[in-house]
Amino acid sequence: MHGFAYKNGSLHCEDVDLSALVQEHGTPLYVYSAGTILDHYTRLDQALEGVEHEVAYAVKANSNLSVLRLLAEHGASFDIVSGGELFRVIKAGGDPAHCTFAGVGKTREEIEYALKQGIYSFNVESAEELRYLDKVAGELGMVAPAAVRVNPNVDAKTHKYISTGKSENKFGVDFEAISDLYARAAEELPNVKLRGLQMHIGSQLTSIKPFVEAVEKVTPLVKQLKADHGIEFWSIGGGIGIVYQDSLESGSVDWWDSKSEQDRPLTLAQYGDALLPKLKDLGLKILLEPGRAIVGNAGVLLTECLYEKKGSAKTFKIVDAGMNDLIRPALYEGHHEIVPVKEPGSERVKVDVVGPICESGDFFCQDRELPDFQPGEVIALMSAGAYGFVMASNYNSRPFPAEILVEGAEAKVVRKRQTLDDLIAGEA
């Protein structure tokens, strides 16, 4: 569920009218619900009660300092994929000793920085990286904590761009090679301490079956590594999907109650109920690395309709946000529900909602039945809290939008809108 709903004819985030935010801050504008973020984090944390665990928020989903600070203040750990993300976590009050560092291409500078900050573990993606980690740590006179990422060759049945657990993906080490790699590392790499095992099979998974399949397949390997090498944790990754198709309605308990068990999307409680019995007797700390599941439905992108263009084949609603602000629809046809900020009537029209970028791929939907909003009216692109602003760019020399964090009736600017002078800062 989430904190967005119509109240008195206008879309609200918690107790704040989004139309009032637009009047004050303009568009495009990202707005996040702090209550939703904390609710999702807490629900996932509670879903694993009964086993030692940490919820390590995947910073790449939304790296705004205020979002990170909110989670750090409530006990979250963090999953990072760059030195820059570690820097952000530290600035937000997060503890490097509760951070794991993933990614297939860590540089020397990033490794040295993370080691000196006291990172909990490097999630290593290859034998070559493990040897390089040993070399860098040795030159610093340190021992690097690490966990190898196992590729269990499980089909997550998600979009090919966000599938990571099959043998043809660039991530991880083949399942069959893990035991030998740990044995060789124990003998040959004195400056590495393999303290765990990691896996992640993909993102936006809406069925529990791939999670269960992966855990069941990897469990015997985990037991063996614990017996042979004394590993202390198993990171089972993230990937829990969110509701995109009916995002606004999914904020209501009634919407969830109206769904049959077969049609209801995967919930955090179901995730815990299915996996907890398979994890609780391993005697290992379990790490989770959710990103989208915590922040995805906690954010919207607000954009104003500029023009309506009626052609012989299509009707276009042209808005002031573009693929540079939210790239998911252009990148892999990601679906975002589109709703007017002013509560609409029943009339619907088939339209393309497109942005101002000089690319044919600059669209938010195509041939979709939507309320007939008009130029000057504002719409909300739902489920934009994850992989929204973090993937934004200055393409076409367009400044970044502002970001707002709402807590109850209070709305705080957590990133100022970029100015034209900001746009060229640092250039000669």
Structural domains of the chain, with CATH = 4-31+297-424 (2.40.37.10), 35-294 (3.20.20.10)
| Whole-angstrom distance, CA of residue 214 vs CA of residue 328 | 27
* Cα→Cα distances 197→77, 144, 152, 234, Å: 17, 14, 12, 5
* Contact call for residues 400 and 418 (beta carbons, < 8 A): yes
Of 369, 359, 351, the closest CA to residue 323 belongs to 359
Which residues are known binding-site members for substrate? 292, 328, 332, 359, 387
Tell me the pairing of strands 338-340 and 315-319: unpaired
Sequence-distant (≥ 6) Cβ neighbours of residue 185 within 8 angstroms: 130, 134, 192, 194
- Catalytic residue, candidates 13, 99, 358, 365: 358
Mean pLDDT of the chain: 94
Interval 299-336: pLDDT, tens: 999 999 999 999 888 999 999 999 999 999 999 889 99
Binding residue positions:
239, 289-292, 328, 332, 359, 387
Q: Is 358 a catalytic residue?
A: yes
Which residue shows structure tokens 């009916």?
246
The pairing of strands 378-381 and 402-407 is unpaired
Amino acid 162: pLDDT? 42
Query: Could you tell me the two tokens for 241?
Result: 């999907």
Closest CA to 163 of 210, 217, 196: 210
Q: CA 402, CA 393: separation in Å to the nearest integer?
A: 13
> How far is 221 from 217, CA to CA, in rounded Å?
8
Binding-site annotation: residue ranges for pyridoxal 5'-phosphate: 239, 289-292, 387
Q: What is the mean pLDDT of each run of 10 residues along the chain (428 residues)?
A: 96 98 98 98 95 97 98 98 98 98 96 98 96 98 97 66 48 91 97 96 89 94 97 96 94 90 88 95 96 97 97 94 97 94 94 96 96 97 98 98 98 98 96
Spell out the alpha helix ranges (H) of 15-107: 18-25, 34-47, 65-73, 83-91
Instruction: Write down the pLDDT at residue 18.
Output: 98
Q: What is the pLDDT of residues 59-76, one digit of tens each?
A: 999 999 999 999 999 999
Percent composition of the chain: helix, strand, coil (DSSP 3-state, to 5):
35, 25, 40
Whether the CB-CB separation of 202 and 158 falls below 8 Å is answered with yes
What's the pLDDT at 160? 52
Gap between the Cα atoms of 98 and 79, Å rounded: 9
